[in-house]
Amino acid sequence: MAGNNPTPTEYIQHHLQNLTFGNHPEHGWSIAHSADEAAEMGFWAIHLDTLGWSIGLGLVFMLLFRKVAQSATTGIPGGVQNFVELMVEFVDNSVKDTFHGKSNLIAPLSLTIFCWVFLMNLMDLVPVDVLPMLAQKVGAMFGADPAHVYFKVVPTTDVNATLGMSLSVFALIIFYTIRAKGFSGFIGELTLHPFNSPNKLVQALFVPVNFLLETVTLIAKPISLALRLFGNLYAGELIFILIAMIGLWQLPLHFPWAVFHILVITLQAFIFMMLTIVYLAMAVEKH
Amino acid sequence: MNLNLTLIGQAIAFAFFVWFCMRFVWPPVMQALQERQKKIADGLDAASRASRDLELAEEQANETLRESKEQAAEILEQAHKRSNQMIDEAREQARQEGERMITQAKSEIEQEINRAKEELREQVSRLAIVGAERILESAIDEKQHGKLVDKLAEEL
Query: For residue range A20-79, what is the model confidence (pLDDT) as tens digits?
Result: 888 888 877 888 877 888 888 888 888 888 899 999 999 999 999 998 888 877 777 778
Encode chain A in three state secondary structure. Answer: CCCCCCCHHHHHHHHCCCCEEEEECCCEEEECCCHHHHHHCCCCEEEHHHHHHHHHHHHHHHHHHHHHHHCCCCCCCCHHHHHHHHHHHHHHHHHHHHCCCCCCCHHHHHHHHHHHHHHHHHHHHCCCCHHHHHHHHHHHHCCCCHHHCCCCCCHHHCHHHHHHHHHHHHHHHHHHHHHHHHHHHHHHHHHCCCCCCCCHHHHHHHHHHHHHHHHHHHHHHHHHHHHHHHHHHHHHHHHHHHHHHCHHHHHHHHHHHHHHHHHHHHHHHHHHHHHHHHHHHHHHCCC
Backbone angles phi, psi at A47, to 5 degrees: -85, 105
What's the rounded Cα separation, in Å, for the pair B27 and B19?
12
Return the exposure string of A42-78: e unless at least 16 CB atoms fall within 10 Å of the residue's CB, then b: eeebbbbbbbebbbebbeebbebbbebbeebeeeebe
Say if CB A69 and CB A83 are below 8 A apart: no
- B-chain CB neighbours of A37 within 8 Å are none
- B-chain CB neighbours of A14 within 8 Å are none
Starting at the earlier edge strand, list the strands of the sheet with A20-24. A28-31, A20-24, A45-47
Least confident range of A33-47, A252-266, B92-106? A33-47
State the smallest CA–CA distance between residue B20 and chain A in angstroms.
Answer: 8
What's the rounded Cα separation, in Å, for the pair A133 and A240?
15
Say if CB B4 and CB A160 are below 8 A apart: yes
Helix (H) or strand (E) holding B10: helix B6-20
Write the CB contacts of B118 (distance below 8 Å, at least 6 apart in sequence).
none
pLDDT at B56 over 90: yes
Nearest to A68 among B5, B14, B29 (CB): B29
State the smallest CA–CA distance between residue A164 and chain B in angstroms.
Answer: 4
Average pLDDT of every residue of chain A: 86
Determine whether the interchain pair A44/B25 forms a contact, defined as Cβ–Cβ distance below 8 Å.
no
State the smallest CA–CA distance between residue A226 and chain B in angstroms.
Answer: 11
Q: Is A18 one of the catalytic residues?
A: no
Residue A4 confidence (pLDDT): 56
Residue B98 confidence (pLDDT): 95
The DSSP-derived string for B109-147 is HHHHHHHHHHHHHHHHHHHHHHHHHHHHTSPPPHHHHHH
- A-chain CB neighbours of B30 within 8 Å are 88, 92
> Does B18 contact A at CB distance below 8 Å?
yes
Q: Is A66 one of the catalytic residues?
A: no
Residue B142 confidence (pLDDT): 65
| Chain B contacts in chain A segment 108-167 (CB below 8 A) | 108-109, 111-112, 116, 155, 158-161, 163-165, 167
Determine whether the interchain pair B17/A39 forms a contact, defined as Cβ–Cβ distance below 8 Å.
no
Say if CB A166 and CB A225 are below 8 A apart: yes
Beta strand A45-47 with A28-31 is unpaired
Least confident range of A35-49, A262-276, B17-31, B109-123? A35-49
State the smallest CA–CA distance between residue B43 and chain A in angstroms.
Answer: 13
What was the ipTM of the complex prediction?
0.86
Q: What percent of chain A has pLDDT over 90?
A: 37
- How many beta carbons lie within 10 A of that of residue B41, not counting itself? 10
> Does A57 contact B at CB distance below 8 Å?
no
pTM for this model (two decimals): 0.74
What does the pLDDT look like over A77-92, one tens digit per residue? 778 888 888 899 999 9
Nearest to A74 among B3, B21, B39 (CB): B39
What's the rounded Cα separation, in Å, for the pair A231 and A219?
18
Determine whether the interchain pair A70/B28 forms a contact, defined as Cβ–Cβ distance below 8 Å.
yes
Mapping DSSP to helix (H, G, I), strand (E, B) and coil, where does residue B3 land? coil
Say which of A94, A110, A210, A232 is annotated catalytic.
A232
pLDDT category at B3 given cuts 50, 70, 90 is confident
Question: What's the rounded mean pLDDT across residues A179-198?
Answer: 85
Q: Is A153 exposed, middle or buried (0-12, 13-18, 19+ CB in 10 A)?
A: buried
Q: Is A224 one of the catalytic residues?
A: yes
Backbone angles phi, psi at A46, to 5 degrees: -125, 135
Comparing CA positions, the residue from A73, A85, A219, A188 lying closest to residue B26 is A85
Beta bridge partners of A31: A21
Number of residues that this document lists for chain A: 287
> Does A44 contact B at CB distance below 8 Å?
yes
DSSP B59: H
Say if CB A281 and CB A98 are below 8 A apart: yes
| Chain A contacts in chain B segment 33-52 (CB below 8 A) | 33, 35-36, 39
Backbone angles phi, psi at A286, to 5 degrees: -90, 140
What's the rounded Cα separation, in Å, for the pair A45 and A225?
23
Determine whether the interchain pair B28/A72 forms a contact, defined as Cβ–Cβ distance below 8 Å.
yes
What does the pLDDT look like over A93-123, one tens digit per residue? 999 999 887 888 899 999 999 999 999 999 9
Determine whether the interchain pair A46/B9 forms a contact, defined as Cβ–Cβ distance below 8 Å.
yes
Nearest to A69 among B10, B24, B35 (CB): B24
What's the rounded Cα separation, in Å, for the pair A269 and A271?
6
DSSP B5: T
What's the rounded Cα separation, in Å, for the pair B122 and A236?
161
pLDDT at B96 over 90: yes
